[in-house]
Amino acid sequence: MESITKQLEDMVEEKKVFKSGKLFKCILGLNVIEANVFSYLLKHDNVTTMKLTSVFKKDRSSIQRALMQLSALDIIEKRSMSLKEFNEKLGEGETNKRGYLYVYGAKDLETVRVQLRDLLDRWYKSMVSYIENLDSIFDCYEKDGETC
C-alpha cells in the first residue's frame, strides 16, 4: 500500500489537484513530451508539426513520434489542410502557395473524458480481479518456487 500512497502523493500538487501531465502519464502511459503535446493540443487547434517543434524546442522526429503515439491512442485528430485554408485561418490572407499540410488537434474534451474513464474502469476491474484471486498467487508460488 505504501507504494500506491507514495505514487498518489507524488501526483498531487500543493493545492491537492492532479497535474494533467501526471494524470496523462498514469492513465494513458504518456511520456513527458507526449503529455505536453497533448495538453497543448487540448488548448489549440489546427497545429502543425513545425509549430510544435518551435513551442517545445524539440526536433521534428520527436514531435512526430509523440503525435503518432497520441494518434494511436485515438485522443487526437490529424487532418489535411490546404496551404490556402491554413493561411486564411492564420489571418495571413491570400497566398500563391499551393499544396497541403497536416494539422493536429485534440478530440473534444468530452470524448477524452469518456476514454479516460473507460481506461480507469478497466484498470480498476483488473485490480479487483487480481485481489480477489490473490490466493492463486500463493498456489503458484508453492508449485514453482516463485511468484507469478
Tens place of pLDDT per residue across the chain (148 aa)? 456 666 666 666 545 445 667 778 878 889 999 999 999 999 999 999 999 999 999 999 999 999 999 999 999 999 998 878 777 776 655 566 778 889 999 998 898 889 888 988 998 998 898 888 877 666 665 555 566 5
17 and 64 share a domain? Answer: yes
pTM over 0.75: no
9 and 72 share a domain? Answer: yes
82 and 114 share a domain? Answer: no
Distance of alpha carbon 130 from the chain centroid:
26
Q: Which structural domain, as residue segments, surrounds residue 62?
A: 2-107
Q: How many domains does the chain have?
A: 2
61 and 127 share a domain? Answer: no
Tell which residue, 12, 16, 13, 66, has the closest CA to residue 40: 66
86 and 41 share a domain? Answer: yes
